[in-house]
Structure 1
Amino acid sequence: MIPVSEALSRILSAFAPLPPETVALPDAFGRVLAADLRARVTQPPTAVSAMDGYAVRSADVANVPATLRCIGEAPAGRAFAGGIGPGECVRIFTGGPVPDGADAIVIQEDTDAEGERVTVREAAPAGRFVRAAGLDFQTGTVGLPAGRLMTARDIGLAAAMNIPWLEVRRRPRVAVLATGDEIARPGDPLGPNQIVSSNSLALGAMIRALGGEPVDLGTALDTRESLAQRISAARGMDLLLTTGGASVGDYDLVREVLGDRGLALDFYKIAMRPGKPLSFGRLGEVPVLGLPGNPVSAFVCGLLFLKPVLRRLQGLEADEGPALTARLGAALPSNDRRQEYRRATLSRDHGGELVATPFANQDSSVMSLLSRADCLIVRPPFAEASDVGERVEILSFEGGFSRL
């Protein structure tokens, strides 16, 4: 068995960012930029007012009250034709271009208007409520860098930058193959010894949440013919993801059939719990990640290995940062040589600190506890017994895992 860190390093070394494709701006949400986005316009294109009021010369309102003559107006999108001189002002609205000669805005609440006569009751220094040209960005400014995962806010910025089309990384196509005579799809008739399969659907949802496109290859029976037929459909995919058939039982044929078709196996078995029988290799041009059949094991391995692969394929930086920690809400026994990931709930104590309380049942087939969990407690190999209140590392299902 190899350590988790070594397994991840060897898996990631087999992948590189996918080529770009061009999409319309409305379709760029959740996609990763393949090139810098540079503004095609200056925003605002000219100095504009930040408030409704009057455009004035600051020198004319240095001493108040001051009476000025209003000579026109400047609504948003239409400039006042001409400039203002001493003793003059222009009625202006938010977003309206500041007329030549004006250098400040007096808000309308600080004025009294009667016909063309406007009495200013509050002084306005130069620059007051004026948005300078290019305050937001200028033509050629890099507003969004390559490698950025596009959010709703970024879509708005790109629109303001006058960018209708942009280059993004192609979505990774991941073929998902479940195996085993004992599993049936949700809603299908169940035989006396069958269970309902959840892996394909859960992993498909994970792939979509992480920006990929799942391709469901269905369920292969425990026969060479069925496995070979399903596996052949993965040609041209960016990754083949299998679940089940990765251990050493008499009917676990996945690795054997893949081997017959030319699988170059990199490794098999990882020193972790759950998820020990995980394998990785390459079938021609298609990388193959073999996940365990137990649903919790498959999901945990997906978080630890599939997520980083999908990030790399989309040109995203490694999802690394300071380790999250919490106080332990229940005592834990010492650990063996395998790195362990325990499902747990999160709460806060009276001091506001996070408390991670592991479930007593950590069986890798119990999906209900995974659904109820808020995090995974990470326990390194040979960790000593831990008491309540000790600090432990956690992988939270919030933040980067919020859609998983």
Structure 2
Amino acid sequence: MPFDSILIVDWSGGNDRGPRPKSDAIWACVAREGNADEPKYFRNRQLAEQWITSYLQSESHAGRRVLAGFDFSFGFPVGFGHALTGSDDPLALWDWLEQHVQDGPSANNRFDLAGQINSRFPGIGPFWGNGLRRDIPHLPRKGSERTCDIFPEKRAAEASAKGAFPIWQLSGAGAVGSQVIMGLPMLARLRRALDVSVWPFEKCTSSVVLAEIWPSLVASAIRDTMPEHAIKDAHQVRCIALALSVLPSADLQRLIDVDYTPEGTILGLNAPELLENAIKSSALTPPPLRNDCFAMPQGAHWTPVDIALDHLRDHLQPVTGTEQCALGECIGRLLAHDVTALRSHPPAPNSAVDGYALAGPAPDGPTNLPLVDGRSAAGQPYPGHVPAGHAIRILTGANMPAGTDTVILQEDVNASDSAIAFHGPLKRGANARTAGEDMKKGEVILTAGRKITPGDLGMLAAAGVGTVTVHKRLRVGILSTGDELCEPGETADVGQIFDANRPMLNATVAGWGYEVIDLGRAADKREPLTKILNSAAQQCDVIISSGGASAGDEDHMSALLQGTGSFALWRIAMKPGRPLALGMWENTPVIGLPGNPVAAMVCALIFARPALQRMAGGRWERTEGYLLPAAFEKSKKAGRREYLRARVQDGKVQIFPSEGSGRVSGLSWATGLVELSDEAQVITPGDQVYFLPFGNFAK
């Protein structure tokens, strides 16, 4: 009984809760295959019902099945429904309540209706808990005031679920009665609007299955996985949605396979351990980076480029969660899990050419074969069996009919309406493709960490894959620091320069496929810089700054990171761009680049690119370059790696005339970098040099 989507709703019987998300309100969460959307907050029942109806309709129209769980009782203790409606059908009570409940964002008649229901029965009750200031006839404020005892206090489900409150309680801690009275009418309307089955009253055959849930059934697992400062109601709908979405089909079937009861029951009550284990396993999220992840071994001073890169590779890990992504929307995304073919490609043996299918091989010499009536065409396979010694007309891409395994080209055949003639020999299997020769069902076709390309989309589609699990897009904040900076287009004062780094880095990081958050410019003052970092840590997965990355008096970024106990100042043995400041700010990694534009760009390409790729969930891969002849002369000393702005002309590599890291025009002139290794070198025209095209950094 597979479900494509899980919807979990935490309902409320109260009035409008206002625009800001809060507890004791309405929360909903959708999960698919272990990936949950952000929980949605609804300030009142009207808005929630509109969204729920629209969501379920869209899923049904898309051909997806949904299990929708609601955290209130679907039935009442035995005898109540018949006494009120004259029917033993529990769904008749839903319709009755839908006809009698009056509901608005700021007022409803639930307490008055409960009093009217009580008046139908002898004594006082069964409902209690008048939550209004005014007295309501027949509705006591305390349960101890009731005298009506013709209905059980609890359903069988509540009696066996430790801590469950009776359905008759309308107000106070643990009250569920108001949720039921205000929730069942909404479910009744859903039944009229959609193809719905109600568990456990009906067979679960519809596109939408409604089920009763009770988060407190697995309260300890929810509590143990709840982040600090999280809203409990939001967290628990996400927990249960995730758990049900990852539950194996056999386990979910076990939860659903319960005996019919007119009282209804709680999903998972028969095996709560299955939900608990699923919650614990689905709650796994990427752990934060260690506070000392950037610390080099003690005594390190000038760090070679390769050592620095190896350190990042070994100490970084993915920092983003995962989500389901439709095939048409996942270009450039990073796979979180391996992808297996859902169908072999081709799914059946087929013809590679237009011709005639037969059972091979054909012997040397002239061959005549009678033709079977009909043909096999792509999308219109021949339904019958081709007898031995016969042939059949077949077109390119058509399934090979039963009894055939070989195709002869139509150009090699003389044909009439009833027979063909050709010269052999013809090998068995000629011009025919075998089933699964490209991809086999169940075969891994893409591995985790790969950035999805247009070619991948074609392969995934051919293998029947409609959605994949990808890492959520890495959110990268870009910040420039320095009193000397002003915005391009503004009037620059004496001593000011325009901020070239931020637009350059914004575009570079966006080109890598990440979500860029422009953090603006920060003056050389610690208090405003601290405020920017605090805000950035709440909305970014990584922060990249430029300027203030050294250890001078005005290098406030380095000073602030020093105060976190996570600061590492890497003096890289490279030119340009020696200082890199790295650290953690409220569990968010910070990469501090040099302030000079060329140094900032080179360090971003060489260090930030693979680091971000790793943290985004991708593979650690060095940028691919090419050996090409030099069109320049250059002498360098040993001890550091150098990167020269360069471009290719007439098959040879030219370099920009100046190596100054402030000459930003060289980045516009260049199409890539020449990388010169650490050892001493003398380059003369014609020598092979390693050229790294800028375009390869974006792959």
Fold similarity call, TM over 0.5: yes
Give the structure 2 partner of residue 366 of structure 1: 663
Pair 295,129 (structure 1): closer, same or farther in 2 beyond 3 Å: same
CA contact (8 A) 1:106 1:122 kept: no
Give the structure 1 partner of residue 445 of structure 2: 143
Pair 84,6 (structure 1): closer, same or farther in 2 beyond 3 Å: closer
Question: Residue 160 of structure 1 aligns to which amino acid in structure 2?
Answer: A
1:285 paired with 2:587, answer: yes
SS in 2 for 1:188: coil
Q: Distance in 2 between matches of 1:60 and 1:378?
A: 60
- Determine which structure has greater relative contact order: mean sequence separation of CA pairs < 8 Å that are 6+ residues apart, divided by chain length: 1
1:162 paired with 2:464, answer: yes
CA contact (8 A) 1:244 1:294 kept: yes
1:360-394 per-position Cα deviation (integer Å, ceiling 9, x unaligned):
211111122122223333345572554444444x3
How far apart are 1:224 and its partner, in Å?
Answer: 2.8
Question: Residue 368 of structure 1 aligns to which amino acid in structure 2?
Answer: S
Give the structure 2 partner of residue 351 of structure 1: none
Q: Distance in 1 between matches of 2:565 and 2:517?
A: 20
Give the structure 2 partner of residue 396 of structure 1: 692
Matches within 5 A, 1:215-226: 215-226=517-528
Give the structure 1 partner of residue 348 of structure 2: 46
CA contact (8 A) 1:180 1:220 kept: yes
CA contact (8 A) 1:292 1:298 kept: yes
Q: Distance in 1 between matches of 2:670 and 2:509?
A: 20
How far apart are 1:291 and its partner, in Å?
Answer: 0.6
SS in 2 for 1:278: strand
Report the TM-score, using the length of structure 2 for normalisation: 0.52
Q: Distance in 1 between matches of 2:371 and 2:306?
A: 75
Matches within 5 A, 1:323-334: 324-334=626-636
SS in 2 for 1:376: strand
Question: Residue 456 of structure 2 aligns to which amino acid in structure 1?
Answer: D
Give the structure 1 partner of residue 268 of structure 2: none
| Greater per-residue strand proportion | 1
Question: Residue 545 of structure 2 aligns to which amino acid in structure 1?
Answer: T
| Greater per-residue helix proportion | 2
Which range moves more in the overlay, 223-232 or 243-252?
243-252
Question: Residue 302 of structure 2 aligns to which amino acid in structure 1?
Answer: I
Question: Residue 265 of structure 1 aligns to which amino acid in structure 2?
Answer: F
Matches within 5 A, 1:294-309: 294-309=596-611
Q: Distance in 2 between matches of 1:368 and 1:252?
A: 26
Q: Distance in 1 between matches of 2:338 and 2:372?
A: 46
Question: What runs of 5+ residues in structure 2 fail to find an aligned partner?
Answer: 1-300
Q: Distance in 1 between matches of 2:612 and 2:360?
A: 57
Q: Distance in 1 between matches of 2:444 and 2:313?
A: 30
Give the structure 2 partner of residue 179 of structure 1: 481
Q: Distance in 2 between matches of 1:98 and 1:391?
A: 54
| Pairing partner for 1:376 from 673, 679, 689 | 673
Q: CA RMSD in A?
A: 2.7
Report the TM-score, using the length of structure 1 for normalisation: 0.87
CA contact (8 A) 2:357 2:394 kept: yes
1:87-145 per-position Cα deviation (integer Å, ceiling 9, x unaligned):
5322221222222222322222233333x323323434321222122222222111112
1:241 paired with 2:544, answer: yes
SS in 1 for 2:536: coil
Q: Distance in 2 between matches of 1:86 and 1:240?
A: 71
Pair 387,59 (structure 1): closer, same or farther in 2 beyond 3 Å: closer
SS in 2 for 1:90: strand
How far apart are 1:292 and its partner, in Å?
Answer: 0.9
Identity %: 33
Which range moves more in the overlay, 317-326 or 138-147?
317-326
Give the structure 2 partner of residue 64 of structure 1: 366
CA contact (8 A) 2:625 2:692 kept: no
Q: Distance in 1 between matches of 2:627 and 2:436?
A: 43
SS in 1 for 2:464: coil
Q: Distance in 1 between matches of 2:606 and 2:686?
A: 26
Give the structure 1 partner of residue 302 of structure 2: 2
How far apart are 1:86 and its partner, in Å?
Answer: 4.5
How far apart are 1:306 and its partner, in Å?
Answer: 0.2
Point out the structure with max Rg over C-alpha: 2
Give the structure 2 partner of residue 272 of structure 1: 574
How far apart are 1:259 and its partner, in Å?
Answer: 4.0
How far apart are 1:16 and its partner, in Å?
Answer: 0.5
SS in 2 for 1:207: helix
1:154-187 per-position Cα deviation (integer Å, ceiling 9, x unaligned):
1111111111111122322221111123222333
CA contact (8 A) 2:369 2:391 kept: no
Which range moves more in the overlay, 183-192 or 29-38?
183-192
How far apart are 1:223 and its partner, in Å?
Answer: 2.5
How far apart are 1:324 and its partner, in Å?
Answer: 4.6
| Pairing partner for 1:32 from 334, 341, 345 | 334
